[in-house]
Amino acid sequence: MLFIHKFMKQTISVVVSAYNEEKTLDRCLSSVAFADEIIVVDNSSVDSTASVAKAYTKKIYKRPNILMLNTNKNYGFNKATGQWILNLDADEEITLELAKEIQTVVNSDPPEFGFWIKRKNISFGKWIKHGLWWPDKQIRLFRRTYGKFPCVHIHEYITVDGTVGVLTEPYLHYNYETVSQYLTKINRASTSEAIVLRDMHYKISWHDAIRFPVSDFLKIYFAQSGYKDGLHGLVLALFQAFYSFCTFAKLWEIDKYPHEEIVPDAIAQEFCKNEKEIRYWKLTMLIHDSSSAAGRFIRKIQRRLNIA
């Protein structure tokens, strides 16, 4: 019986959460035709999302469009009957190569209970290969009943009760296709971030209005090599900085806009600190990209002097 079980075909349920995704859902669902079951959680869309879904499945569940949408994804997981669950958003797509890998892996009855999968983010028409956006691994494939979202943070990972492996092939994420779409997404996400900080009893100060966005920009553009993605990398790093500022502003709003006196010299000093950090990361970038040993040595000395 053990021998027979090991080589039995494993069943896969795809769970997709969608809100007003009539333009993207068809691409997503057509990419998972290999699945044994497709479940669509419609978060009270007001467009033709449900009609698009009906072409692929009868298992469509309408849920309220709440801020913590991961709750609705967990609802979809509970409706699944397959031995494995593949979780997707409507703006994502499974490649033929990944579809083949998923089927091969699950049918081998692996010891793992879930798998990280690299996510290939396409933003404003370009594959973003640096910063937050690559390899951007996500746990999207897991054994049914062994994985769920904690429902604490909007950008959280699925937690799996057991060992987690890594697949080779990535899936596609058509992340931002327009600036308006980006602004709509960060409005929701920054609200969720602010609520998390409130629940952590984080107390903001005026310094955070500068430090939140500057820190994110420096991290993404320099430390994570966002500059290598050209203008796309610069725009996305600035957008991420703006997202962090919006998080600060919304937490300030939650706190009922507390007043703080700020003297101009204090602002100037704060920006001076940031200027020093910018020089550090600029020199680090030049060290990393230099093909000359002598050039790298000189930049390292300059960086050390900058810190001193």
Q: Residue 45's closest CA among 28, 59, 62, 32?
A: 62
Stated pTM of the model: 0.86
Q: For the chain, give the mean pLDDT.
A: 92
**pLDDT surpassing 90 at residue 170:** yes
Residues 6+ apart with CB under 8 A from 268: none
The mean pLDDT of 21-31, rounded to a whole number, is: 97
Residue range 274-298, pLDDT digits in tens: 777 777 777 777 777 777 777 776 7
**pLDDT surpassing 80 at residue 6:** no
Sheet containing strand 119-123, strands side by side? 92-93, 171-176, 119-123, 126-127
The residue whose two tokens read 């050039």 is 295
DSSP state of 302: H
pLDDT at position 297 is 64
Q: How far apart are CA 61 and CA 50, in angstroms?
A: 9
Q: So where are the chain's domains?
A: 2-176, 179-307
Q: Residue 171's closest CA among 14, 55, 6?
A: 14
R_g of the chain, CA atoms, integer Å: 23
The mean pLDDT of 3-13, rounded to a whole number, is: 73
Q: How far apart are CA 97 and CA 114, in angstroms?
A: 19
288 or 307, higher pLDDT: 288
225 or 278, higher pLDDT: 225
279 or 172, higher pLDDT: 172
Residue range 251-267, pLDDT digits in tens: 999 999 999 999 999 99
pLDDT at position 302 is 67
Q: In the 3-class helix/strand/coil scheme, how is 176-201 assigned residue by residue?
A: ECCHHHHHHHHHHHHHHHHHHHHHCC
**Tokens at 4, concatenated:** 């027979």
Helical axes 293-307 vs 264-289, angle rounded to 10°: 160
**Least confident segment among 37-46, 68-77, 287-296:** 287-296
Q: Residue 225's closest CA among 306, 302, 137, 135?
A: 135
CA 302 to chain centre: 36
CATH superfamily entry for domain 2-176: Spore Coat Polysaccharide Biosynthesis Protein SpsA; Chain A (3.90.550.10)
Residue range 85-95, pLDDT digits in tens: 999 999 999 99
The mean pLDDT of 151-155, rounded to a whole number, is: 90
Residue pair 12/82 in contact by the 8 Å Cβ criterion: yes
**pLDDT surpassing 70 at residue 144:** yes
**Tokens at 80, concatenated:** 């699944």
pLDDT at position 307 is 56
pLDDT at position 4 is 45
**pLDDT surpassing 90 at residue 305:** no
What's the chain's length in residues? 308
CA distances from 226 to 125, 133, 237, 264 (A): 16, 9, 7, 32
In this prediction, what percent of the chain has a pLDDT beyond 90? 81
Residue pair 164/117 in contact by the 8 Å Cβ criterion: no
Confidence of residue 151 (pLDDT cuts 50, 70, 90): very high
